[in-house]
Amino acid sequence: MNERTVGALLCSLSAAFMLFYTWLLFLPPQDWTVLGKPLTWWAVALPVYVLVFIFFGILIWIGWAMATTPEQPPLRAEPPQPPERDRDEPTGRPSA
């Protein structure tokens, strides 16, 4: 598949999912239930669950990276060294 085909497929599937989700949230038949809950409840509960799960998964990943990264030794600030001069440059002192 080339990039244009993949892009068109992503756009089409995203638009179809948005329409389905809108129908599921606002216009489902009232007698349809899943595990005793109406479809509108699931249309809100599942995305919220997934987002909370992803958020805390990212926090776990950041915490794990912070806990397992070895501590870096502090950088010591060294006094600046004067630039080295060429021997051919005058020093500003009169020669004897």
pLDDT per position as a tens digit, 7-60: 999 999 999 999 998 888 888 887 888 888 888 888 899 999 999 999 999 999
| Range of the structural domain that residue 46 is part of | 3-66
What is the pLDDT at residue 33? Answer: 82
With a threshold of 0.75, does the pTM exceed it? no
Number of domains making up the chain:
1
Domain assignment present for residue 56? The answer is yes
Residue 84 has pLDDT above 90, yes or no: no
Q: Based on the number of CB atoms within 10 Å of its own CB, is 25 exposed (0-12), middle (13-18) or buried (19 or more)? A: middle
* Per-residue pLDDT at 96: 59
Residue whose tokens read 């989700």: 21
Q: Considering the domain boundaries, does residue 62 fall inside one?
A: yes
> What is the average pLDDT score of the chain?
85
pLDDT higher than threshold 80 for residue 86 = no
Question: Does residue 39 fall inside a structural domain?
Answer: yes
- DSSP structure class, residue 28: -
